[in-house]
Copies of this chain bind each other. A is one copy, B any other.
């Protein structure tokens, strides 16, 4: 009977060790070159031969030099790459022509050391903005890193990209299909951080599946929609946000339309825990809030309402204080710019019904207040007028967020 089952049902996914270098065909190295005081501040991830490569970037009009250079390189190389270089401690943003030259020079230094075209090297930076990179140190650091590339050292790379993240974020899985197995590994750094002056998110995904650049891009966009693009710490969007995916092909498993769901599942499996880790490690966050909106007319409507609730300071402070304040949830939904009938809306916290038919269920408030003391809180809103849904992950707003962002001085 196996033949009549769709291929998508024949996938098994198992967590494995190794982070970004769990897939075969990738080597990495992390060094301290002196951009900042931390032990590690620069990492190179290189493919043994070459890889398909795809990128998603910040939609902010103010784009940092590494974002502009990486976009250009992706265009020029038609999605073929040999390495990514990433530094923390300096965002190389708002740095003008000098910044663009420095981002190019980072790619060239990697290309020189590895013997590949500079257009096949992508660049990412995170850290303080408006400050030039110390290029002598950076180039020396790149040379040191490229001479010490090794398999299985992804953990150091995950440390090197941290700014004030409270913990490193990496994850890897083995995806087994009826046509063979491949691995997907990933690392990320968080949003809502003090050091970058704004919320920079960097994510890196590697797989040893064989994938064309265009199929890899499609899977990256699709997986990010429900993971990295479905989180919010404070609604900010930085100059440097970047998400890269690389496919080395060394597993021998070729992704076609039949196996596309397996690739997508693999990407989702590593992206979701990293995205949630970013929220949990958000500035001052004490709780993750999963806002799910159901029965909307379109997915965009559902996402817009969920995002408005997740970014509402009154909802975020209510959750922080374990206050089952359905009124703030209803009011945030009502100002989201999406049309629905308020009389058909229901609001639940952790499954407890608090608002229905335009009226409160205050008798359930004490139960909901207990649920709000947990470190992950589900807010469920039905708009009662469609069959589309979406979930956005956010976090609570604490006095600590104000302290971190208010007491910092440039």
Contacts and interface: CB of A to CB of B under 8 A. Distances in A.
Contact of A359 (B95, B339, B369, B403): B95
Contacts of A407: 321
Interface string A99-134: 000000000000000000000000000000110000
Contacts of A294: none
Smallest CB-CB A-B distances: 6 pairs: A321-B406, A317-B405, A62-B334, A399-B399, A130-B360, A61-B334
A159 interface: no
A11 interface: no
A398 interface: yes
Given A61-B340, A238-B331, A334-B239, A402 B398 contact: yes
Interface stretch (A80-88, A163-171, A229-237, A263-271): A229-237
A198 interface: yes
A202 to B, nearest CB: 16
A313 B313 contact: yes
B130 A313 contact: no
Interface of A: 59-63, 93-96, 129-130, 197-199, 234-239, 312-314, 317-318, 320-321, 323-328, 330-335, 339-340, 342, 355, 357-360, 362, 365, 369, 397-399, 401-403, 405-410
A44 B49 CA distance: 80
30 contacts: A60-B335, A61-B342, A62-B330, A62-B331, A62-B342, A93-B327, A94-B359, A95-B359, A96-B357, A130-B327, A130-B355, A198-B314, A198-B327, A234-B314, A235-B313, A236-B313, A313-B313, A313-B401, A317-B406, A320-B406, A321-B407, A321-B409, A323-B406, A323-B410, A324-B410, A325-B408, A327-B410, A397-B402, A397-B406, A398-B406
Nearest to A336: B61
A22 B358 CA distance: 40
A238 B332 CA distance: 8
B197 A328 contact: yes
A286 to B, nearest CB: 10
A94 B327 contact: yes
A355 B95 CA distance: 11
> By CB atoms of chain B within 10 A, which of A199, A318, A365, A405 has the most?
A405
Contact of A94 (B312, B321, B333, B360): B360
Given A60-B334, A94-B360, 16 more contacts: A61-B333, A94-B327, A96-B358, A130-B360, A197-B328, A198-B331, A234-B314, A235-B312, A235-B313, A314-B405, A317-B402, A318-B405, A318-B406, A321-B406, A323-B408, A401-B402
Contacts of A236: 312-314, 328, 331-332, 335
A236 B60 CA distance: 23
B129 A327 contact: yes
Contact of A358 (B94, B326, B409): B94
